[in-house]
Amino acid sequence: MGQTTVTQQEGQVTVKQRHTFQTTCTYQTSNFDALHWYQQRTGQAPQRISYQAAAGPKRNGRLTTLLNTTGKYS
């Protein structure tokens, strides 16, 4: 099993309800199988909000993710 590093440039982000938020994460891994997105609300444990194993866009309710496995970003 390989080591995976994911970097989000903004670090911690606060978003008001019903507002739009966009971020880009880059990743480095020797063995890619999927990318998991988590949301952590203040005082709560992280909660997985998306799972994406295939390249391209994915929509899950109001959340849209785009996984680029060639450029290694989402």
pLDDT band at 48, cuts 50/70/90?
very high
Asked if 23 and 38 touch (Cβ cutoff 8 Å), the reply is: no
Structure-token pair, residue 3 = 């080591």
- Report, as an integer, the average pLDDT of 31-46: 86
pTM higher than 0.85, yes or no?
Answer: no
Give the CA distances from residue 29 to residues 2, 3, 13, 17, in Å, rounded to whole numbers and listed in that order: 7, 6, 25, 33
pLDDT at 4 over 90: no
17-53 burial by CB neighbour count: b if 16+ within 10 A, else e? eeeeeeeebeeeeeeeeebebeeeeeeeeeeeebebe
